């Protein structure tokens, strides 16, 4: 679970702090949910193991950060940030490569099969990944407060006028940059448009000569990369636990329902909505924090069952 600093404030300032927390949480969720959304939209596969990839990203980043800190010792705060982002990118790449192995060995063989076998296979992969994590990193959760404190040493009051963990700010900025990058990728770049065309009409795409096999691998690797990156980025603050992927996984599903099954904008909107809603709900009642996303989902289900946005292939 996400253990944020105890910034439970009362009154409008506290609410604003929780808004920022919610935005940060929302971006993390967006990274995970977009992975689910694109693998769902392009390959039609519901990857229940996606949360485990997120957790794996956190564990891998633990090892990566440890190794990096043995080589370099950051002095200035900016160097801490570079360490964080660099380490996260490395971890994410590792996860992406690992996911390619998974895709070739297992996922590839179930695309054409019954939905039931797809889901249950990803569930099997999830179980295996969980024990893999336990095998390599042990049962205890890992934390990395050095990195967290290091980044927080930048005094954010100079930047934005009040104190708020710089770490969170870094996350928000990185998340925004990544989101913009993702949207650019899917709207402007050739590969992105090819992927969208496969999502729109797979048969037609193969008819005009698009290699679906390679693109599926690419999409799967991309979704794993995003999940691993998210796990790595949140690790210094929240630590790495084996079960940490469960909540983001389910919330990703909620987000996909809220935002619309195939829409990247929908995932962003849904993720921010869920993040902000659930964090701000803490101010009113701690119970509400966990229940809020589901309530949102039920409301959307009853009044707009196809989600806020329409399909993935047309981003609007």
Partner 1 sequence: MSGNKGGGLFPTVVRADGEKYIDLLYGKRITTHQAKIIVGGLLLALIAPDVLRITGVLHLRILLTGIIWGLAAVGLNLLTRHSELHSFGHAAFFGTGAYTAAILASKFGVTSAFGLLAAATLVGTLVAVIVGFLVKRNAGLTFALLMLAFGQLLFSYVRQSQYFNFTNGVPVRPEETGVPLFLGIEFGNEAYQVVVYYLSIVIVVVALLITWRVVSSGFGYAQYAIGQDKTRAEYIGIDVENQIWRVVSISGIYCGLAGGLFALVTQHVLPGETLHFFVSGHLLFMGILGGYQTLLGPFVGGVVLTVLQKFTPQITSYFNFLTGAVVLVIVFVFPKGIVGTIQEADLSRERFRYALSNPSVARDWFTNRTEYWKQRITSAMEER
- Interacting residues toward partner 1 by CB under 8 A: 40, 44, 46, 48, 106, 109-110, 112-117, 119-121, 123-132, 134-135, 246-247, 250, 253-254, 256-257, 261, 286-287, 290-291, 294, 297-298, 301-302, 305
3-state secondary structure of 254: helix
- Min dist CB 203 to partner 1, Å, is 18
Cα distance between residue 81 and residue 87, in whole Å: 10
Please name the residue that has the structure tokens 């990369």: 225
Contact 133, 241 (CB under 8 A): no
- Min dist CB 206 to partner 1, Å, is 19
- Min dist CB 112 to partner 1, Å, is 8
- Min dist CB 153 to partner 1, Å, is 33
Compute φ and ψ for 45, nearest 5 degrees: -110, 135
- Among residues 119 and 308, whose Cβ is nearest to partner 1? 119
- Among residues 111 and 185, whose Cβ is nearest to partner 1? 111
CA angle 215/100/59 to nearest 5° reads 135
Helix pair 264-284, 246-259: axis angle to 10 deg: 120
Compute φ and ψ for 240, nearest 5 degrees: -125, 115
- Among residues 52 and 169, whose Cβ is nearest to partner 1? 52
- Min dist CB 305 to partner 1, Å, is 6
- Among residues 118 and 168, whose Cβ is nearest to partner 1? 118
- Among residues 95 and 126, whose Cβ is nearest to partner 1? 126
- Among residues 79 and 246, whose Cβ is nearest to partner 1? 246
- Min dist CB 171 to partner 1, Å, is 23
- Among residues 50 and 232, whose Cβ is nearest to partner 1? 50
3-state secondary structure of 142: strand
Q: From the CB of residue 91, how many other CB atoms can be counted at a distance below 10 Å?
A: 27
Please name the residue that has the structure tokens 């992969």: 125
Compute φ and ψ for 142, nearest 5 degrees: -105, 145
Please name the residue that has the structure tokens 């290091």: 150
- Min dist CB 314 to partner 1, Å, is 19
Cα distance between residue 261 and residue 257, in whole Å: 6
């Amino acid at each position: 679970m996400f253990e944020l600093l105890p910034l439970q404030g009362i009154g409008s300032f506290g609410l604003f702090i929780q808004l920022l927390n919610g935005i940060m949480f929302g971006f993390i969720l967006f990274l995970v949910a977009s992975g689910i959304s694109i693998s769902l939209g392009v390959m039609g596969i519901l990857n229940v193991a996606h949360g485990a990839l997120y957790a794996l990203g956190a564990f891998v980043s633990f090892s990566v950060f440890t190794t990096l800190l043995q080589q370099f010792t950051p002095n200035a705060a900016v160097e801490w940030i570079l360490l964080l982002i660099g380490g996260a990118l490395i971890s994410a790449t590792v996860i992406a490569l690992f996911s390619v192995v998974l895709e070739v060995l297992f996922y590839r063989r179930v695309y054409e099969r019954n939905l039931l076998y797809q889901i249950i296979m990803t569930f099997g992969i999830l179980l295996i990944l969980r024990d893999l994590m336990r095998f390599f990193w042990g049962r205890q959760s890992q934390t990395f407060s050095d990195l967290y404190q290091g980044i927080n040493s930048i005094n954010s009051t100079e930047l934005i006028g009040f104190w708020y963990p710089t770490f969170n700010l870094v996350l928000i900025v990185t998340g925004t940059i990544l989101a913009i990058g993702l949207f650019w990728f899917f709207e402007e770049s050739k590969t992105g448009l090819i992927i969208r065309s496969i999502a729109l009409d797979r048969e037609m795409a193969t008819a005009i000569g698009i290699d679906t096999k390679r693109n599926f691998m690419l999409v799967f690797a991309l979704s794993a990369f995003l999940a691993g990156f998210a796990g790595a980025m949140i690790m210094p603050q929240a630590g790495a636990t084996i079960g940490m992927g469960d909540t983001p996984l389910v919330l990703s599903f909620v987000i996909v329902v809220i935002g619309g099954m195939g829409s990247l904008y929908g995932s962003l909107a849904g993720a921010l909505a869920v993040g902000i809603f659930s964090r701000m709900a803490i101010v009113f009642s701690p119970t509400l924090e966990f229940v809020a996303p589901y309530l949102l989902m039920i409301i959307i289900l009853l009044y707009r069952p196809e989600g806020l946005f329409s399909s993935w292939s047309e981003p609007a």
